[in-house]
Amino acid sequence: MLTIGVIADTHIPDRASHLHPHVLDILREAGVTAILHAGDICSPKVLDQLNAIAPVHAVQGNRDVWRLSHLPMNLSLEFEGVQIGMMHGHGGLVTYLSQKLSYFIAGYQVAKFQASLRREFPQAKVIVFGHTHRSENTWSGGVLLFNPGPASQFRWGREPCSLGLLHLQAGEVLKSEIIPLD
């Protein structure tokens, strides 16, 4: 069995001063062999901290445009025969602004957001994303939609901090879990 750590929305230092104190310990104790960061990293220092535990695969979030613009917008990966698509979820500038407007008018539209993720990765068995600051661990049409939630407590935030673990073996997702950090 292979265990992958999944993290997103660390926002360091723009919204939080440092990683939650339990993040690194949880990833070490879980024995992760890889870490997926689904964007809004903000500081390369975060990737260095995570890389000290396991190799990191990261995508660019909407807050990474200046310091981490070299990161891809999305990635397709394979672990243990499981196809994983990963993106932050904000799309380009026009999509991001459209999402913001829609959110202010109608609130968070789960089905609409999930549909856009599935269009981006039609062959994936798991789609990892961030951006919403809401954890999701949902199977839909044979695809796991997995958002670990925000890994850092925002100075003004109300969403609980969390990270995720994916347990894979022989082409299957054995278990997917959201780990609360509070």
**Would you state the torsion angle of the CA atoms of residues 20, 25, 27, 33, taken in this order, to the nearest 10 degrees?**
140
Domain total of the chain: 1
CATH number of domain containing 161: 3.60.21.10
User: For the segment 112-130, what is each residue's pLDDT rounded down to a tens digit?
Assistant: 778 888 889 999 999 999 9
Question: Residue 107 in 3-state DSSP?
Answer: coil
pTM of the model: 0.90
Tokens matching residue 95: 């999509």
User: For the segment 52-101, what is each residue's pLDDT rounded down to a tens digit?
Assistant: 999 999 999 998 988 999 999 999 999 999 999 999 987 766 666 676 67
Residue 5 has pLDDT above 80, yes or no: yes
Bridge-based pairing of strands 2-7 and 34-37 is: parallel
Q: How far is CA 74 from CA 70, 88, 162, 182, in A?
A: 12, 7, 22, 29
Structural domain including 34 reads 2-180
